[in-house]
């Protein structure tokens, strides 16, 4: 198993990463939300970021998505050092973020949500209107290209399952030219079958050449598709591994707290009860007794 390497500006310049964070920190006043976190996102790979609530996953998403600029450290996109100041700037650099609470309009059809905010038009001047035919046909074709077998692109997106809505969001990001896809807990509220459907399309995005950042608290889901694993704990890195260097049991152990969990187990072990407090009665009758 490899601990995360010491990151330097020179080391990351030619790494081939689509996105690279080197010793990135974020503070809100005196509160440390993230400190000295490093990760790499490569084309055709999935980088999984694991951690419990409060580990710093949301802050990391906001930095990559351009919502909040980082305070210290280095952020590179395609090898170029940069500081993102808005989600639009991140999108323009090819970074698309799909949040857990998907920004969809439930009563609108699937094709309308697919193009929401980026609607193509046809005609000129006062005759300009949305190109409904193009949107409907393109949405259906793009979903099919990703392997998403949708019953009807005209049905309200609110009638789809949570997993299907996640898949539509992934296909949308791919269509609009995303190079990096950041997924915020896409399987958190889903059952086993629906989680499997989403992970299938996460893998399809990887196979299409995208670099994927999968944020999750589920090490089993991460290990199924991940190539790299970054573990966060209380805003700091608790580990960084390539898939060939760590197995699922060790990843789960580190995610659960490792030595902290061992100490908790020892503390919770049932101590023997002294005889004068009823310890003898707890053992039951002696052999041959009544």
pTM of the model: 0.80
On whether residue 192 sits in a domain, the answer given is yes
Beta bridge partners of 82: 75
Task: Tell me the C-alpha distance between 148 and 267, whole Å.
Answer: 49
Domain membership flag for residue 96: yes
Q: Report, as an integer, the average pLDDT of 157-169.
A: 87
Question: Would you say residue 121 lies in a domain?
Answer: no
Domain-located, residue 203:
yes
pLDDT digits (tens, 9 = 90+) for 193-204: 888 989 999 999
DSSP 148-204: ---S-TTSBGGGS-HHHHHHHHHHHHHHTT-SEEEEESTTTT--HHHHHHHHHHHHH
Strand partners, 121: 130
Position 101 confidence tier, pLDDT thresholds 50, 70, 90 = confident
Domain assignment present for residue 281? The answer is no
Inside any domain, residue 232:
yes
Q: Is the pLDDT of residue 78 over 60?
A: yes
pLDDT bin (cut points 50, 70, 90) of residue 14 is low
How many domains is the chain partitioned into structurally? 1
Q: Given this model, what pLDDT does residue 5 score?
A: 43
Yes or no: say if 205 and 174 are a contact pair by the CB < 8 Å rule.
yes
Check residue 68 and give its pLDDT. 92
The DSSP string of the chain is --PPPPP-HHHHTTS--SEEEEEEEEEETTEEEEEEEEEEE-TT-EEEEE--TTSSHHHHHHHHHTSS--SEEEEEETTEEE---SHHHHHHTTEEEE-SS----TTSBHHHHHTTT---EES-GGG-EE-HHHHHHHHHHHHHHTT---S-TTSBGGGS-HHHHHHHHHHHHHHTT-SEEEEESTTTT--HHHHHHHHHHHHHHHHTT-EEEEEES-HHHHHHH-SEEEEEETTEEEEEEEGGG--HHHHHHHHHTTHHHHHHHHHHSPPPPPGGGTHHHHT-PPTT--
Residue 89 lies in a domain: yes
- Between helix 162-175 and helix 132-145 the angle, nearest 10°, is 110
Enclosing domain of residue 26: 15-105+177-267
Q: Which two tokens stand for residue 136?
A: 């409907």
pLDDT digits (tens, 9 = 90+) for 235-263: 999 989 999 999 999 999 888 766 565 66
Indicate whether 116 belongs to any domain: no
Over residues 43-66, the pLDDT tens digits come to: 999 999 998 888 899 999 999 999
Query: In terms of pLDDT, which residue wins out, 259 or 205?
Result: 205
Average confidence (pLDDT) over 199-224: 93
Confidence of residue 102 (pLDDT cuts 50, 70, 90): confident
Calpha distance 147→201 (Å, rounded): 8
Q: What is the pLDDT of residue 3?
A: 47
- Cα torsion angle, 156, 158, 163, 167, sign: positive
Tell me the CATH number at 69: 3.40.50.300
């Amino acid at each position: 198993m490899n601990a995360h390497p010491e990151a330097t500006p020179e080391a990351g310049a030619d790494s081939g990463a689509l996105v690279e964070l080197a010793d990135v920190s974020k503070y809100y006043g005196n509160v440390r939300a993230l400190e000295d976190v490093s990760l790499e996102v490569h084309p055709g790979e999935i980088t999984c970021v694991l951690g419990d609530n409060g580990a710093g996953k949301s802050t990391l998403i906001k930095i990559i998505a351009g919502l909040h600029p980082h305070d210290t450290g280095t952020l590179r996109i395609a090898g170029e050092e940069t500081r993102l100041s808005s989600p639009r700037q991140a999108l323009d650099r090819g970074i698309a973020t799909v949040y857990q609470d998907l920004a969809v309009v439930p009563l609108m059809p699937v094709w309308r949500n697919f193009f929401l905010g980026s609607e193509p038009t046809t005609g000129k001047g006062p005759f300009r209107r949305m190109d409904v035919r193009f949107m409907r046909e393109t949405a259906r074709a793009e979903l099919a290209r990703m392997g998403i077998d949708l019953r009807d692109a005209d049905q309200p997106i609110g009638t789809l399952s949570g997993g299907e809505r996640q898949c539509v969001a992934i296909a949308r990001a791919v269509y609009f030219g995303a190079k990096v896809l950041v997924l915020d807990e896409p399987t958190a509220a889903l059952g086993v079958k629906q989680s499997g459907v989403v992970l299938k399309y996460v893998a399809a995005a990887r196979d299409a050449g995208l670099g994927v950042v999968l944020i999750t608290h589920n090490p089993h889901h991460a290990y199924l598709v991940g190539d790299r694993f970054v573990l966060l704990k209380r805003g700091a890195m608790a580990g960084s591994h390539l898939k060939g260097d760590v197995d699922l049991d060790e990843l789960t152990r580190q995610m659960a707290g490792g030595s902290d969990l061992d100490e908790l187990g020892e503390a919770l072990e049932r101590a023997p009860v002294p005889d004068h407090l009823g310890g003898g009665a707890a053992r039951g009758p002696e052999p041959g007794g009544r």
